[in-house]
Amino acid sequence: MSSEEESETSVKILSLKDKVEIVGYGETPTSRARQDKGEMKLTQQQYFVWASELAISKSGLVKKDFDGQGLAIAGSAYPHAEIWSAEIAQDLGITPSLLLRSDHGGMGGCALLHQSALAVASGVVDLVLCVSADTPMNITTPGAVRTWRYETEFQKPFGMMGPNSQFAFILRRHMYQYGTNQEQLGKIAITQREHALKNPNAYLKQPLTLDQYLSSRMIADPIRMLDACIPVNGGLAYVVASKEMAKKLPHRDNHVSLLGIAETDNYFEGSRMRPDITYLGIKDSSKKAFEMAQVNQRQINFFQPYDDYTVAVIMQIEDCGFCKKGEGGKFVEQNDITWKGNLPTNTGGGQLSSGQPAMAGGFVHVVESIRQLMGEGGERQVKDAKVGVATGIGAISYGNSLVNSITAVFGKS
């Protein structure tokens, strides 16, 4: 097929608007396993069970209701087992008829939602329990966390030291190309810390000032320690149900509807040989998700972007169309992104302050979206929240920004 023929080929996307509902969620408290400070140290299996029990109970279901239904599992930083999903099914004591697995990194929370919604909307199952847990703070063996071959073969030999080094390139380019500054990045870190102070499950509980942010240690110039998420142990889960099943459950007037979802993997802005690394596939996935949901940016009541780094938040504000490309820093500077502002952003503290439970990190934004639309945000509840957006990005790319991108639009049922 010629390039001209390819460009003329239209791809029809199955609309999932109002086809499924999210009927419950669960989130464990986070921990860094500092037993010397009285913090709990649990296994991955314990977090999986805990988060699952919370979500199942919240949904008004019991564990046996998921026999013959769906179970969706995200991967883990360790042990990276090839049969991880089967192992978790055994640990939970569930006999599913559909077993889904994500290896999308930070996109995992939304990716499993996408897969589950497709399975439920097509009638394969009526319920899917989506769950992830990870314990990066329990890993003590050097080299235990495996990565992909691009890093081991083409990056580490030349001095690249993981995500911090790679995101330093992305942030430096964004600063050079658009004038983004550290005060704008600091506002994101400070705002999300304010939200974490109102979240009982968040890890970081000390207020943060701009001076503290600016004086935090440089870890990969221009990335500061407070530009990066904090690793924690924890687990999260949610339950996807068909419209028919949802009607039979308690609290059926307080469910969350999936309005739109779309993913874009291996996106390139411009040349594939020299792409513009200030863009993410979110530019494409958000356009498709908003179209499916039939909403625009002015109708969004809150935004939960994947936040492994502060600059990732700015890039996604731009790529989701809340401002023009390159104006994300100014947007943050000139707008109120707190829970009571005009674009409440990462209202639970995000991974920057609530914590990143490794491969379960992508669930943080989905669960906070569900909580807000169920009106259970507590002190950080967004007033009259009716429509919200969550994103996921994963797999820091070799020669680009990130490989996996997804956008989900949620609404009150």
Q: Which of 307, 292, 304 is nearest to 402 (CA)?
A: 307
Tokens matching residue 297 = 């940016």
What are the Cα distances from residue 348, in Å, to 58, 168, 204, 369, 376? 19, 25, 11, 9, 11
Q: Which residues of the chain have pLDDT under 50?
A: 1-9
Provide the pLDDT for residue 83.
85
Provide the pLDDT for residue 11.
57
Q: Which of 300, 304, 407 is nearest to 16 (CA)?
A: 407
At the top level of CATH, the class of 15-138 is alpha beta
Report yes or no: 278 and 402 within 8 Å, Cβ to Cβ.
no
Provide the pLDDT for residue 231.
97
Tokens matching residue 203 = 């890890």
Q: What is the β-pairing status of strands 387-396 and 402-412?
A: antiparallel
Provide the pLDDT for residue 251.
87
CA atoms within 13 A on the CB side of 364: 41
Task: Using the structure block, give the residue that is written with the tokens 């609404």.
Answer: 411
Tokens matching residue 354 = 């609530």
Provide the pLDDT for residue 64.
97
pTM listed for this prediction:
0.95
